[in-house]
């Protein structure tokens, strides 16, 4: 299985109704926002795995529970999760045991993992993971993971689309994408901001090249998805600088 690519698509909540006693982070230590995308570019995928760290930002030990909520699952797919030393089957939503996180500490890399089995079904399934203090459930953090298995199955007569990286990236005024739609007749490029809102939507023709004006976008990180024949074929991260 090829390397998973995790993309942050939510704003980090630095203040709010939670008080942030708990925070969810990537394995690189970056605080996650409200939702993320995890996908695999392999054409045969048995499992897609989401790893995360949980940090106790208080000065005292905290007993933390993990709860999974399957928000939108494609037929034929399944999910399960591991918390602490135990892993739970697809029909279990709440961990059987809680994990004690010392004050100011972060869980180990293998303390939590979310597992998604696409079962050969292309598209997106969404699963929410919530971590909360069992002694004070108002202290919690949660993230929605969008698992994407986005390649279209091919037959002997089907030519799969292909796409380059965006360049230059970062960009100031314009950014380019080279592509080949293959056997697809129609494709659309959707540009999504960190709040998950579509800020641009451009139809791709058979010219095999796109120059997109980004001068009207605010400085920041965006995610560009190419949708062809109803399937997400690729998601790329771009940075707009002013």
pLDDT for 122 equals 78
Q: Which domains occur in the chain, in start order? A: 5-149 (2.60.40.3880), 162-240 (2.60.40.1220)
DSSP, residue by residue, 3-24: PPEEEE-S---SSSTTTTSEEE
Tokens of 93: 């939503």
Please give the C-alpha separations between residue 66 and each of 10, 86, 96, in angstroms, as whole numbers.
Answer: 20, 11, 9
Q: How far apart are alpha carbons 82 and 89 in whole angstroms?
A: 9
**Per-residue pLDDT at 16:** 36
Top-confidence residue, 24 or 123? 24
Of the candidates 183, 169, 186, 181, the residue with the CA atom closest to the CA atom of residue 222: 169
Average model confidence (pLDDT) for the chain? 82
Which token pair is 159? 């030519």
Q: Please tell me the predicted confidence (pLDDT) of residue 219.
A: 92
Which pLDDT score, from 0 to 100, does residue 212 have?
Answer: 94
Give pLDDT, residue 27.
Answer: 86
Inform me whether the pLDDT recorded for 156 exceeds 70.
no
pLDDT at residue 152 is higher than 60: no
Q: What is the mean pLDDT of residues 35-64?
A: 85
pLDDT band for 185, please (50, 70, 90 cuts): low
Mean pLDDT of the region 50-67: 95
Q: Which residue in this structure is represented by tokens 């869980």?
A: 107
- Assess whether pLDDT exceeds 60 at residue 180: yes
Q: CA–CA distance from 171 to each of 1, 9, 166, 200, 204 (Å)?
A: 31, 19, 9, 16, 20
pLDDT > 80? residue 150: no
Give the count of beta carbons closer than 10 Å to the beta carbon of residue 216. Answer: 9
d(CA 237, CA 191): 10
Is the pLDDT at 182 greater than 80, yes or no? no
pLDDT, position 89: 92
Question: Phi and psi for 203 in degrees, rounded to 5?
Answer: -80, 135
Mean pLDDT value across residues 189-208: 85
C-beta atoms surrounding 141 within 10 Å:
22
Report the share of the chain in percent with pLDDT over 90: 47
Neighbours of 220 (CB within 10 A): 12
Whether the Cβ atoms of residue 5 and residue 50 lie closer than 8 Å to each other? no
d(CA 159, CA 9): 31
Can you read off the two tokens belonging to residue 61?
Answer: 């030990």
Could you tell me the pLDDT band of residue 131, with boundaries at 50, 70 and 90? very high
Mean of pLDDT values over 71-99? 93
User: Which pLDDT score, from 0 to 100, does residue 144 have?
Assistant: 87
């Amino acid at each position: 299985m090829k390397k998973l690519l995790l993309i942050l698509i939510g704003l980090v909540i630095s203040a709010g109704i939670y008080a942030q006693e708990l925070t969810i982070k990537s394995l690189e230590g970056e605080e996650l926002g409200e939702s993320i995308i995890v996908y695999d570019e392999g054409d045969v995928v048995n499992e897609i795995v989401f790893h995360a760290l949980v940090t106790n930002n208080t000065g005292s030990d905290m007993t933390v529970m993990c709860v999974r909520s399957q928000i939108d699952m494609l037929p034929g797919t399944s999910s399960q999760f591991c918390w602490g030393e135990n892993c739970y089957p697809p029909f279990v939503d709440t961990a059987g045991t809680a994990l004690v996180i010392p004050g100011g500490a972060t869980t180990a890399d293998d303390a939590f993992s979310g597992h998604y089995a696409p079962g050969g079904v292309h598209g997106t399934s969404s699963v929410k993971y919530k971590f909360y203090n069992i002694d004070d459930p108002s202290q919690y953090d949660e993230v929605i993971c969008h698992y994407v298995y986005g390649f279209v199955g091919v037959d002997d007569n089907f030519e799969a689309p292909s796409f380059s990286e965006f360049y230059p990236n970062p960009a100031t005024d314009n950014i380019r994408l080279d592509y080949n739609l293959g056997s697809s007749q129609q494709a659309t490029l959707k540009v999504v901001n960190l709040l998950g809102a579509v800020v641009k939507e451009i139809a791709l023709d058979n010219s095999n090249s796109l120059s997109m004006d980004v001068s009207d976008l605010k400085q920041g990180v965006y995610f560009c998805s190419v949708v062809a024949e109803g399937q997400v074929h690729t998601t790329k991260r771009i940075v707009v600088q002013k």
